[in-house]
Amino acid sequence: MITLRQLRYFEALARHLHFGRAAEECGISQPALSQQIQEMEAMLVLPLVERGARRLALTPKGEEIARRATRILGDVRDLTDFASHGGGVLSGTLKLGVIPSVAPYVLPKVLPLVHEAYPGLELHLRETRTDQLRQELAQGRLDVLLMALPSGDPSLESRPLFVDRFLLARRAGGDADTAAPASPDAIPPDRLLLLEEGHCLRDQALTYCRIQKSELQASFGSASLATIMQMVANGYGVTLLPEICVDVEAKDTRIALSRFADPEPQREIGLVWRRSSPRRVDFEALGDLVIEAMRAGTVPA
């Protein structure tokens, strides 16, 4: 019979596509991990991995089994959560994932409220891109995500928390100093500065501006809004800035902000978790605190 340990090893191998890195993550030797995968293949009577001289790939059956292994491991995590979180709301450990275009601007408002209301909570934070967070949520390595909605996955449940409008950020002076609403049609594709591939904020901006990826400057893509805003301040282009970021990223007097004409571009921020998770009460309580924190600030809930 296949063991949970073998499923964990195989799931790690499916992510890394490298025996050495998967073994390091699992805390075992590479030969030991390879042996466990071979035993798993023998029990299933089918190959899971294509082993080449320079590359490793999953077989079509291996890809499907990897997806099922991820779901099983997530369910096991939910089972242990159900057994261990009977001590009250937001007690014990909570692993929260947050996207980079939200974490630095929302967490400073929310974390003091969390600490005050639930001092016994052991909160672990993970900040990275949406696709990586969703993968770790499915694997049971994270409990809940704070991200832009929708999640795009029917196996996940979500709770909307607040709406975050976008503004046009450009170098001050000239037309930037007028009060006229901005228009997406007036943004030249070769002047639009965006986060690098993989950030949902990038895709949202492209969709609103009706710009194809092929029209962008191929040479620039930043991992941080702070870098983009410095480029804007120095006249190298324009960008769409989420309203929650204004107090932090738009202090430079060389930056001018303009609202867009209706309907304004916006994103909805919310919490996302596995439907099978038994901790919905915890996530609802956390969502209440996020709403409270944002209402106390400048962002409308």
Of 128 and 196, the one with more pLDDT: 128
At 28-54, the pLDDT tens digits run 999 999 999 999 999 999 999 988 777
List the domain boundaries for the chain: 4-83, 88-162+269-296, 164-266
Q: Rounded to whole angstroms, how far apart are CA atoms 106 and 244?
A: 8
Please give the C-alpha separations between residue 117 and each of 94, 120, 276, in angstroms, as whole numbers. 15, 9, 26
CATH topology of domain 4-83: Arc Repressor Mutant, subunit A (1.10.10)
Reading phi first (left if > 0) and then psi (alpha if -120 to 50, else beta), residue 52 is in beta
H helix runs in 169-279, sequence order = 200-209, 225-233, 246-249
Closest CA to 77 of 63, 52, 58, 95: 95
pLDDT at 198 over 80: no
C-alpha count within 13 angstroms, C-beta hemisphere, residue 101: 30
At 165-188, the pLDDT tens digits run 999 999 998 766 666 788 888 788
How many Cβ atoms sit within 10 Å of the Cβ of residue 86?
9
- What is the predicted pLDDT for the residue at 300? 39
Pairing of strands 239-242, 266-274: unpaired
164-266 has CATH 3.40.190.10 classification: yes
Q: Rounded to whole angstroms, how far apart are CA atoms 66 and 51?
A: 16
Q: Report the length, in residues, of the chain.
A: 301
C-alpha dihedral (192, 193, 194, 195), degrees to nearest 10: 170
Pairing of strands 156-171, 122-127: unpaired
CATH topology of domain 88-162+269-296: D-Maltodextrin-Binding Protein; domain 2 (3.40.190)
Mean predicted confidence (pLDDT) in 13-30 = 90
Q: Is 200 exposed, middle or buried (0-12, 13-18, 19+ CB in 10 A)?
A: buried
Of 298 and 130, the one with more pLDDT: 130
At 230-240, the pLDDT tens digits run 999 999 999 99
pLDDT at 147 over 80: yes
Closest CA to 67 of 117, 10, 150: 10
pLDDT at 127 over 60: yes
Same fold, 88-162+269-296 and 164-266: yes
Which range of 13-27, 45-59, 184-198 scores highest in mean pLDDT? It is 13-27
Please state the pTM of the whole predicted model: 0.76
At 238-288, the pLDDT tens digits run 999 999 999 999 999 999 999 998 889 999 999 999 988 889 999 999 999
Q: Rounded to whole angstroms, how far apart are CA atoms 227 and 231?
A: 6
Which residues does 274 contact at the CB level (< 8 Å), separation at least 6?
74, 78, 137, 138, 140, 155, 156, 157
